[in-house]
Amino acid sequence: MIRVFIGYDDNESVAYHVLSHSILRHASQPVAITPVAKRHMQGFYSRERSSIESTDFSFTRFLVPYLSGYNGWSVFMDCDTLLTTDIAELFALRDDQFAVMCVKHDYVARDDIKFLGATQTKYEKKNWSSVMLFNNEQCRALTPQVVANETGLFLHQFKWLADESRIGALPPTWNYLVGEMTMPEIPKLIHFTLGGPYFASYRECEHADLWFAEQALMNHAAQG
């Protein structure tokens, strides 16, 4: 069973469902998909949302190892992504020598504002945490208390690890940043980080056609 956790925000509900559909449609193995919804965590996690958090799951993504019982491997991805291939291909890249694996982007965001007027916070390791493979046993430092109280940079820059050698690298195709990167082939995982096609301002962004095609497939029902 491949455990997949997707960041959930009411402002992007359609993104969560289209991404889930793309995962299920391409999957060759059983998949368990869980929304990382902050309101589901009131019994063990509490943190006020700050002005620099562009989504409700900015910090709660780091609760995935806890939600997985610190057992096995789990995948996390932002909801504003789209899978174009089998998630088993990503899961097969897990390597037990690492605590977490991600695409190690090396860039500075071009814009100062993201979707819905959110501030584009610029920092080292930007977007590394938007798609992660967690080796849960090795991520026990990520308790609900730590996630609730530590700074955003502590979490997103992986300072909860003993050192950076614990971070494994994934190929760039597994977190292609629309508007920030170029790639001749269709990426395996497309990330609409500046704003998804479901927002009016981004309806014509790169690979928007693939997102709308996936939405159409999700909405399909056989005629009876």
- Helix/strand/coil (H/E/C) assignment for every residue in the chain: CEEEEEECCHHHHHHHHHHHHHHHHHCCCCEEEEEECHHHHCCCCCCCCCCCCCCCCCCHHHHHHHHCCCCCEEEEECCCEEECCCHHHHHCCCCCCCCEEECCCCCCCCCCECHHHCECCCCCCCCHHHEEEEEHHHHCCCCHHHHHHCCHHHHHCCCCCCCHHHEEECCHHHCEECCCCCCCCCCCEEECCCCCCCCHHHCCCCCHHHHHHHHHHHCCCCCC
Sorting pLDDT into bands at 50, 70 and 90, what band is 47? confident
Instruction: Tell me how far CA of residue 80 lies from CA of 12, 30, 129, 175, 211, in angstroms.
Output: 8, 22, 13, 11, 10
Tell me the residue length of the chain. 224
Classify residue 98: in a domain, yes or no.
yes
Mean pLDDT lowest among 45-49, 196-200, 205-209: 45-49
SS (H, E, C) 92-158: CCCCCCCCEEECCCCCCCCCCECHHHCECCCCCCCCHHHEEEEEHHHHCCCCHHHHHHCCHHHHHCC
74 near 4, Cβ under 8 Å? yes
What does the pLDDT read at residue 162? 93
Amino acid at 24: L
pLDDT value of residue 18: 98
Assess if residue 203 is contained within a domain: yes
Residue 146 lies inside a defined structural domain of this protein: yes
Predicted local confidence at residue 222, as pLDDT:
83
pLDDT at 159 over 50: yes
**Top-confidence residue, 194 or 52:** 194
Mean pLDDT in residue range 171-180: 96
pLDDT at 52 over 80: no
Q: What is the CATH number of the domain that holds 34?
A: 3.90.550.10
The residue segments making up the domain with residue 103 are 2-218
pLDDT in tens, 108-152: 766 655 445 555 565 689 899 999 999 999 999 999 999 999 999
Of 157, 158, 191, 197, the residue nearest 173 (C-alpha): 191
Does residue 224 sit within a domain? no
Considering only residues 173 and 221, tell me which one the structure prediction assigns the higher pLDDT.
Answer: 173
Find residue 86's DSSP bridge partners: none
> Above pLDDT 90, what percent of the chain?
83
- pLDDT for 124: 84
- What local confidence, expressed as pLDDT, does residue 115 receive? 47
- Check whether 96 has a pLDDT greater than 90: yes
Q: What is the pLDDT of residue 128?
A: 96
Q: Which residues are 138's β-sheet partners?
A: none
Ramachandran assignment for 22, one of left (phi > 0), alpha (psi -120 to 50 degrees), beta (any other):
alpha
**Global pTM value:** 0.91
- Dump pLDDT digits (tens) for 179-205: 999 999 999 999 999 999 999 999 999
Whether 51 has a pLDDT exceeding 70, the answer reads no
Output the average pLDDT for the chain. 92
Contact partners, residue 23, CB within 8 Å, separation at least 6? 4, 31, 33, 83, 87
Tell me whether residue 223 is in a domain. no
Domain count of the fold of the chain:
1
